[in-house]
């Protein structure tokens, strides 16, 4: 097998132009796959961040009775001991009191119902770590902020862990982390396959282009080396050895193209994570809704590994077609080939 590897690598290098073209096609396809997967993960993260920053919070602490009657926004089911809740939440977290109520907005001609939040400006304006504070009046909920996690999965896990600690400290209150507050969006997100339509199409395009490229490359190599194959057979190589030789050439191409693809995809992903994509311009269609910001990608080792393995498998499968053709050549016919 060592000799076959040496011959396969020499032949791969000898046909440099075809090798480079095929490897580049594979490299670009895998890099795009990794980049798009990272961008889709970043879009999920940005949606949760917008919910956390503008409409919800990392965590809400309310009474069970208030949550049961949430649509009515009741003012008689607030937290009975808001200072105690704030003190518990302030142990390693940032928290602030909220009073949510229904109001009517009027311009003396028309009026519309609105849901308003009364906040404590002093509590919201300063860092609350280790500073319980809090009002003595009515508080319908306490909102908790968590530090930004490196990924959405980590953010959800940290929120659940913090909520579990607070539930133990506040057994009479209802503690909902972002995984529950945004459960509707997360359920839709989880119900769809992570390999979305875009990713599936990319994978199929990579498969077709790579398969055609490798079949063409090795098939051309077979036809240009018919007499060489005859000589190898005359020196004692079996049809199985010839099959392995051309399969190894396809494997070498697959390894090179896949490694380059993962490298290029990682580089593009690093740029997306470090600098992000400003989505503010795309959010103008949402009117006054506070959406947008920087879309940042996320590292996903599984995607990189799957992209690499996928590229190698494509080359191996595609290489078997011309490799089988080469293995079926008769030595005498190959030696007389002009």
* DSSP codes of every residue in 167-184: HHH-TTSEEEEHHHHTHH
**pLDDT for 175:** 95
Domain segments of the chain as ranges: 2-49+194-335, 58-181
Residues 6+ apart with CB under 8 A from 319: 214, 215, 218, 246, 247, 249, 250, 251, 253, 254
Long-range contacts (CB closer than 8 Å, 24 or more residues apart) made by 315-318 = 315/26, 315/210, 315/214, 315/250, 315/251, 315/253, 315/254, 315/257, 315/258, 316/247, 316/250, 316/251, 316/254, 317/211, 318/210, 318/211, 318/212, 318/213, 318/214, 318/215, 318/218, 318/250
Give the chain's residues under pLDDT 70: 1, 15, 123-136, 190-204, 206-211, 213-214, 217-218, 221-222, 280-293, 331-338
Nearest CA to 322 out of 224, 205, 206 is that of 224
Nearest CA to 212 out of 36, 26, 35 is that of 26
**pLDDT for 192:** 57
pLDDT in tens, 287-327: 444 555 678 888 888 888 888 888 888 778 777 777 777 77
pLDDT in tens, 28-58: 888 888 888 888 888 888 888 888 887 888 9
**pLDDT for 198:** 64
State the sign of the Cα–Cα–Cα–Cα dihedral 77, 80, 82, 85. Answer: negative
- The residue to which tokens 């490359």 are assigned: 217
**pLDDT for 214:** 67
Residues 6+ apart with CB under 8 A from 175: 59, 60, 61, 163, 166, 167
**pLDDT for 174:** 95
User: Which two three-digit tokens encode residue 269?
Assistant: 């992903």
User: Which two three-digit tokens encode residue 281?
Assistant: 């311009």
Residues 6+ apart with CB under 8 A from 299: 38, 151, 269, 273
């Amino acid at each position: 097998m060592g000799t076959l590897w040496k011959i396969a690598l020499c032949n791969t290098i000898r046909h440099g132009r075809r090798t480079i073209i095929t490897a580049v096609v594979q490299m670009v396809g895998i890099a795009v796959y990794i980049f798009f997967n990272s961008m889709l993960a970043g879009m999920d993260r940005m949606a949760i961040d917008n919910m956390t920053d503008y409409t919800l919070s990392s965590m809400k602490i309310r009474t069970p009775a208030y949550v049961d009657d949430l649509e009515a926004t009741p003012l008689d089911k607030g937290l009975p001991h808001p200072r105690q809740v704030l003190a518990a939440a302030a142990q390693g977290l940032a928290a602030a009191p909220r009073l949510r109520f229904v109001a009517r907005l009027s311009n003396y001609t028309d009026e519309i119902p609105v849901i308003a939040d009364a906040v404590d400006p002093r509590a919201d304006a300063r860092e609350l770590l280790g500073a319980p504070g809090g009002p003595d009046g009515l508080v319908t909920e306490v909102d908790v902020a968590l530090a930004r996690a490196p990924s959405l999965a980590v953010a959800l896990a940290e929120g659940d862990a913090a909520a579990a600690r607070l539930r133990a400290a506040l057994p009479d209150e209802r503690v909902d982390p972002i995984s529950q507050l945004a459960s509707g969006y997360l359920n839709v997100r989880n119900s769809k396959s992570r390999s979305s339509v875009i990713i599936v199409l990319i994978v199929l395009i990579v498969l077709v282009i790579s398969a055609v490229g490798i079949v063409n490359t090795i098939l051309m190599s077979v036809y240009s080396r018919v007499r060489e194959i005859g000589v190898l057979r005359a020196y004692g190589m079996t049809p199985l050895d010839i099959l392995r030789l051309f399969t190894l050439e396809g494997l070498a191409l697959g390894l090179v193209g896949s490694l380059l693809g993962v490298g290029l995809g990682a580089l593009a992903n690093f740029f997306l994570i470090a600098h992000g994509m400003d989505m503010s311009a795309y959010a103008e269609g949402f009117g006054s809704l506070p959406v947008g910001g920087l879309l940042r990608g996320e590292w996903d080792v599984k995607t990189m590994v799957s992209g690499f393995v996928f590229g190698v498998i494509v080359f191996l499968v595609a290489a078997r077609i011309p490799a089988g053709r080469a293995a079926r050549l008769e030595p005498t016919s190959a030696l007389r080939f002009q």
